[in-house]
């Protein structure tokens, strides 16, 4: 992913609640970021919903705790984890 595409992935996307996503449908994750919200530490994922449409999803804390820094780096580098 070149630098321009990387910035586009980060900047684009509507934040959706995880329960609104379709179950049993694969969503390729393009970018992940660890951050702290008013509710505590979490991971913000940018999955691809459709070909040119990205969304952003905050993981619940119980799932975010399962991601370490290496997992996030692997996602951002496009490696399969």
Query: Residue 44's domain spans which residues?
Result: 3-76
Give the residue, 78 or 8, on which the prediction is more confident. 78
Count structural domains, the chain: 1
CA 37 to chain centre: 15
Q: Beta strands of 1-81 (E only): which ranges?
A: 14-15, 29-37, 40-50, 53-58
Task: Identify whether 35 is part of a domain.
Answer: yes
| Closest alpha carbon to 15 in 45, 35, 60, 52 | 45
For residue 69, the model assigns a pLDDT of 92
Q: What is the pLDDT of residues 19-68, one digit of tens each?
A: 899 999 999 998 999 999 999 999 999 998 887 788 999 999 899 889 99
Look up the pTM and report it: 0.78
Torsion, Cα of 41, 54, 69, 76 (10° steps): -160
Paired tokens of 46: 């940018």
- 69 within a domain of the structure (yes/no): yes
Asked, for residue 56, whether it belongs to a domain, the answer is: yes
Q: How confident is the model at residue 80 (pLDDT cuts 50, 70, 90)?
A: low
């Amino acid at each position: 992913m070149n630098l321009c595409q990387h910035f586009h992935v980060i900047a684009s996307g509507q934040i959706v609640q995880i329960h609104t996503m379709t179950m049993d449908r694969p969503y390729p994750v393009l970018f992940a970021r660890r951050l702290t919200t008013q509710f505590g530490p979490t991971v913000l994922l940018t999955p691809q919903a459709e070909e040119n449409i990205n969304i952003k999803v905050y993981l619940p804390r119980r799932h975010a705790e399962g991601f370490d820094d290496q997992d996030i780096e692997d996602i951002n580098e496009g490696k399969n984890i």
